[in-house]
Amino acid sequence: MRKMFNRATVTAGLENANVVTHASPHHAGEVFAIAMLSLLKRVRVLRTNDKALIQRAKKDGPKGLIMVDVGEEFNPNRRIFDHHQESFEEHYSDYMKLSVAGLIWRHYSMMILSKFDCPLPLIVEATLEVSHDLVHGVDAKDHGYGSNSIEMSISDAVDLFNPNWDDPEQDPDEAFLQAVSLAQRILEKEIKKVVSIVRAKSEIENMIAHNDNELLYLPMYIGGWEEYVLKSFNPKAKKLLYCVYPCVYSDLGEGWKVQAVSVSRDNLTQKRKALPSKWRGLSGVQFTDLTGVETAFFCRTDGTAAIAKTLDGALKLAQMAISQ
């Protein structure tokens, strides 16, 4: 009998499987590894601790079979991803050994990211970001790091799905599939977030490269734009004083914001050039009369940002602030 949950299935026979892993209890390493594979295709998982069956799977398993956390060998050419053998020597840059989640991510990440419309030039960066944010932590927990932490980790949350000793009616395979479903959702959210971030960084870098003044104009709002400006190694980024982008203001509706750029990532409260002191705290007719900009709407009392009703008005305010 097969059990289906989301994009993963548990199957009883080797002939029907395209993934083999060990039986209960499950751990976050193989759960996330199988969740990664399920983002590429529907996975049919054989869960077994039968060494003879695992050896038969290695030797005569169905075409395309992937061995996850079993097999006592790491051989990506044969699709065997185990890390328990003494000869295993795959490391992160911090010298911590990979676990099965890291092995599967390292081998399949580019294919997975392409499913999420990650531009090809950005895939390597996205791969490293997901590894840093999520996969490294799963592998660390698998190796026992952070075991004494009082905070619950993602790996701990996955472990919660294992059946309790006093609940004999709970199906271990169903519990495993529920854990895989959780991991799928976490992976999807993490990958979508990272792809959005690397695309945003690329967009901002491109805008900086084609900018020759102290004003950065964003035709659409890009979350995190200031962080990317402050991280940029382009000398032009160091000259930027203001950014103009669309916004929604509670008393106005749609408008355009002029925002002063911070000094550094370590000093976000101080601005490279705050908006003119005589503007600060003004709104409505007072702000319009002082600046001569008909669509000028409001300026914050700290001089960090001003709002205009139109793009043209915002650009005029920014240019005036630069020249003063």
Q: What is the pTM of this model?
A: 0.84
Residues ≥6 apart with Cβ < 8 Å to 200: 222, 223, 224, 225, 228
Distance (Å, whole) CA 43 – CA 35: 9
Distance (Å, whole) CA 176 – CA 183: 11
- Peptide bond just before 235 cis, omega within 30 deg: no
Cβ–Cβ contacts within 10 Å for residue 2, how many? 12
Q: What's the DSSP call for residue 117?
A: T
- pLDDT for position 256: 96
Single-letter code of the amino acid located at 144? G
Burial per residue of 115-141, b for 16 or more beta-carbon CB atoms within 10 angstroms, e otherwise: eeebeeebbeebbebbbeebbbbbbbb
Distance (Å, whole) CA 131 – CA 148: 23
Nearest to 198 by CA among 279, 315, 91, 116: 116
- pLDDT for position 3: 46
Q: How do the domains of the chain map onto residue ranges?
A: 3-201, 212-323
Residue 147, burial from CB neighbour count under 10 angstroms (0-12, 13-18, 19+): exposed
pLDDT per residue rounded down to tens, the chain (324 residues) = 344 447 898 998 899 899 999 999 999 999 999 999 999 999 999 999 999 999 999 988 889 999 999 999 999 999 999 999 999 999 999 889 999 999 999 999 999 999 999 999 999 999 999 999 999 999 999 988 877 777 889 999 999 999 998 988 889 999 999 999 999 999 999 999 999 999 999 999 999 999 989 999 999 999 899 999 999 999 999 999 999 999 977 667 789 999 999 999 888 999 999 999 999 999 999 999 999 999 999 999 999 999 999 999 999 999 999 999
Distance (Å, whole) CA 47 – CA 31: 12
- Which tokens in the block code for residue 10? 């548990």
Distance (Å, whole) CA 200 – CA 193: 11
Which conformational region is residue 281 in: left (phi greater than 0), alpha (psi within -120 to 50 degrees), or beta? Answer: left
- For residue 310, the Cα-to-chain-centroid distance in whole angstroms is 34
